[in-house]
Structure formats: structure tokens, C-alpha cells
Amino acid sequence: MDLGYLNSRIRAWRGSLLDKEDYDSLIGARDIHGMVNYLKDGAYARDMEISAARNTNETDVIEGAIKGNLTRTFKNLWEYAPDEAGVLLKVIFSVWEVYNLKAVLRAKSKGVSPAESMTVLMPSGDMDESALKELNQQKDIFELANLLSTWGSPYAKPVKEGIRQYTRERHLAGIELGLDRFIHDYCLSVAMAAGGINGEIIKRFVRERIDSINISTLIKLSGDGILPANISDYFLEGGEVLDKDRFLMLAISKDTRVLLEGLANAVKDSRWKDAIISLESENIFFLEEQIEELTRQNLCRLAIIEPLSIALAICFIYTKIREIKNLRVIVRAKIFNMPVIEMKRFLILG
């Protein structure tokens, strides 16, 4: 698989990512207005202009520009990727594709207007803006499933399977769980089929993602009083850190501290272990971000070792996402006058 052209484009795009100086200027900006002025001159200039035409509030302008920039990055990646690399990139974009599907399903189920639900969607991969508009305009979940079938989308199968339960109980959770399970199985099968170094990289990436999701699910379930019979439904197969028995054993721990100790013992990677041990009880949510950052760092290392592989694309995507998250943290911190020291605790500057 020749990824030379795509990788050279990505290397060029990497040059426009925010560096330490940019972050220092943004953190040091007096207020949102200062941030807007700074972003208007850099890599976000185009997106800021588009967003400024649509929004009047400065916070909305930045939020709109950030989202626009990420959408454009995804679109560029998707367009420049050769056909054979598209299958691998789909593995990365699948997270957003499933998110978009779930968002549309939720909107249809809860009676949210298409205009409102359109604003929360994130065009990515096969689900570009026009595809999302089409999905969003469907009358109900049944029509949506039929449309997916017509498109020959791989997501049609899990949605159709979940619809039977939805018709009986009017609960979306069944369809969502089906989609979540399907997508990880699908990604693993794609990685296996791809073979070679790219297949290995994707496999490793998906396995880490599964482990990260299983750990996050365990924390979400701790102390939730969920029925033990239902816990196994939330386990994703395919990870390396946690097997099903260990997952079930840890899931019944009522105290989050006990759970974290159990997780620290289960995890072999010392950096993951450190992240779990050093967690503050009030900021447990930050573990997801830390694990995502560790995965990103692994991929960026792989991109150096294997410069012509798909690792560079994944590394770039996750670095971009981190940049977006950092920008959003700075925006929120500026709005709520969060002290710089406190703000920096939640910034991950790779």
C-alpha cells in the first residue's frame, strides 16, 4: 500500500498545528477577544472568518471555527487518502460515524428537530455533510435503517438487528450497544484482513481503543447499582488488558478507589498504570484523556519508526483532536476566569 503522497501531505499539515508558543500566547490572552484576535491570524484564520459570518458571540465564533477546522481536516484526509488506505482510515473515522448515527437515532427517537440535531453532527469518513443531511431528514428510525441498507452501509446490519428490540421496548440502548459492539468487531476484522505493517498498526490501535473503552465503562458502572446480569453486555471483546472475567470481577466493586486499585493491578503498561494511580478522585474523567494521549504518543512513535505507514495519519488525527480539546479547555477557562495553573492541569501539550 503506497501512502507516500498522503503522508507527505500530512507532514505539511502537521506544520500548521499549534506549537508551544501559540499555546503560551493563547493561555496568556487576556480574554476571549484576545483569543479571537490571535486565532484570526494563524492556521484557524479561514475557519474563524467563516464562523464569524455565522455567529456574533465571540465564544461561538471560536467554537464554530474549531469545529469547522476539524471537519475540514477530516475531509482533507479522507479525500487525499488512496482507495486502499480509505478502508484503514475508516477504522479511525468509525468512532465519529457511529457517533453521528447514534446522534441521528437519538434525535429521531426523542423528537428532536432535524435542524437542531444537525448542529451536533460531525461530518467524517463516509458520512459527509450531504450524507448526514440525508440521514437526518428521514422520518423515523425504520426509514433510517432502510436508507443505510440502500447505501450498502456496514451499519445497516446492527441497526436493523436492534430495531426489533426497539419496536418492542422503545429503548434505543439496544441499537446503540449493537452498533458499539459491531464497530469494534468490524475494525478488528478490517485490521486482520489488511495484514502487513499497516494491519498490525491498526490492530494495535483498535485493541488499545477497546481496552480504553472497557476501563472507562468500568469506571462509569462503578457504584451505579447495575444488575450483574447486565454487566457482561457492556464488555467489548478484543482488548488485551482486561478479559471478560476480570471485567466482571472489577465491575462489581462498589468503591471507585477499589476499582482503580484493581485496574492498576490488571494493567501491564507502566504508563497506563501511572495514569490510573495518579488519578484525583474528583477528576477521574481525565483518565480517558490521559489514556487517549498515551495511545497518541504510541502511534506517533510508530510513525517515526514506520514513516510510510498509516501510523502517521492516525498520529496526526489524534494530535489534531488534542489540539481542538486544548483550545476548547482554554476557551472555557477564559469564560469562567479559571486560574492559569488550574487550566494547565487539564491541557495536554504533547
Partner 1 sequence: MEKFSPTRINLLLLNTQISVLKSGARLLRSKRDALMKDFFRYIEECLDLRSRLNSQMKDSTRKLQFARAFLGDTIFSTAHASKRDISLDIKIKNVWGINIPEIEKKAFVRSMDARDISPIGEGMLATDTAKNFEKAVDAIVSIALSEIRLKRIGEEIKADTRRINALEELVMPYIRDNIKAIERVLEEREREGIYRLKRYKHVRGTGYFFCKKVACPFRSRAGKP
Query: What grid cell was written down for 108?
Result: 429521531
- Looking at residue 310, what DSSP letter applies? T
Q: How far apart are CA 132 and CA 274, in angstroms?
A: 40
Residue number with CB closer to partner 1 (87 or 324)? 324
- Given a contact cutoff of 8 angstroms between Cβ atoms, the answer to whether 326 and 23 are in contact is yes
Q: How far apart are CA 237 and CA 181, in angstroms?
A: 8
- Given a contact cutoff of 8 angstroms between Cβ atoms, the answer to whether 253 and 262 are in contact is yes
- Given a contact cutoff of 8 angstroms between Cβ atoms, the answer to whether 321 and 305 are in contact is no
Which of these ranges, 38-46, 112-120, 188-196, 256-264, lies near partner 1 under the rule CB under 8 A? 112-120
Bridge partner list, 124: 127
Q: How far is the CB of 339 from partner 1 (least distance, A)?
A: 13
Dihedral over alpha carbons 77, 332, 38, 345 (to 10 degrees) = -80
Residues 119-158 that bind partner 1 (CB under 8 A): 119-122
- Looking at residue 140, what DSSP letter applies? S
The answer for 332, left when phi > 0, alpha when psi is -120 to 50, beta otherwise, is: alpha
- Looking at residue 152, what DSSP letter applies? T
Q: How far is the CB of 22 from partner 1 (least distance, A)?
A: 18
Residues 83-102 that bind partner 1 (CB under 8 A): 95, 98-99, 102
Q: How far apart are CA 174 and CA 164, in angstroms?
A: 9
Q: How far is the CB of 236 from partner 1 (least distance, A)?
A: 6
Q: How far apart are CA 241 and CA 212, in angstroms?
A: 9
Q: How far is the CB of 173 from partner 1 (least distance, A)?
A: 5
- Given a contact cutoff of 8 angstroms between Cβ atoms, the answer to whether 69 and 48 are in contact is no
Is 346 one of the binding residues for partner 1 (CB under 8 A)? yes
Which of these ranges, 10-18, 149-157, 309-317, 322-330, lies near partner 1 under the rule CB under 8 A? 322-330
Q: Which of 17, 52, 112, 308 binds partner 1 (CB under 8 A)?
A: 112
Distances in whole angstroms, Cα of residue 46 to Cα of each of 57, 120, 176: 17, 21, 36
Q: Which of 173, 192, 249, 258 binds partner 1 (CB under 8 A)?
A: 173
Q: Which of 155, 186, 205, 234 binds partner 1 (CB under 8 A)?
A: 234
Is 225 one of the binding residues for partner 1 (CB under 8 A)? yes
Size, binding site for partner 1 by CB under 8 A: 52
Q: Which of 16, 230, 265, 278 binds partner 1 (CB under 8 A)?
A: 230
Which of these ranges, 20-28, 229-237, 239-247, 270-278, lies near partner 1 under the rule CB under 8 A? 229-237
Residue number with CB closer to partner 1 (141 or 236)? 236
Q: How far apart are CA 319 and CA 296, in angstroms?
A: 7
Q: Which of 228, 336, 337, 339 binds partner 1 (CB under 8 A)?
A: 336
Q: Given the rule CB under 8 A, which residues bind partner 1?
A: 66-67, 95, 98-99, 102-103, 106-107, 109-110, 112, 117, 119-122, 171-173, 176-177, 179-181, 213, 216-217, 219-221, 224-227, 230, 234, 236, 284-285, 287-289, 324-325, 328-329, 331-332, 335-336, 346
